Amino acid sequence: MIFGLGYLLSTIFGERFPLQWWLLRLGLVPIIFLSLALYVLLFPTPVPENYNPNIHGNPGRGDFAAILAWGLLAPIVYLIIALPTSIAYAI
């Protein structure tokens, strides 16, 4: 999606702002956010040996919230902010 959007914007704005410019502005940060979500997915919060849900809570719930925040919300919010800002800069 980001590659297609970058290609479309690079054809609209011509040689001043090529595809690489758009990919760096719109594609790099969401990849970083997704890698943070992947880190949480691959290395979940360890459950202690003396686990008591009344004391420790639910570590899986916190991991799920972190995966949603880094993997879904942060890239969407970034694109909502970065896309109009980049287009305004290109104009």
* CA–CA separation, 38 and 35 (whole Å): 5
Structure token pair of residue 20:
């690489």
pLDDT in tens, 37-86: 999 888 887 777 787 777 767 777 788 888 899 888 999 999 899 888 88
Domain that holds residue 69: 2-90
* Backbone φ and ψ of 72, nearest 5°: -120, -55
Q: Provide the number of structural domains found in the chain.
A: 1
The predicted model scores a pTM of 0.72
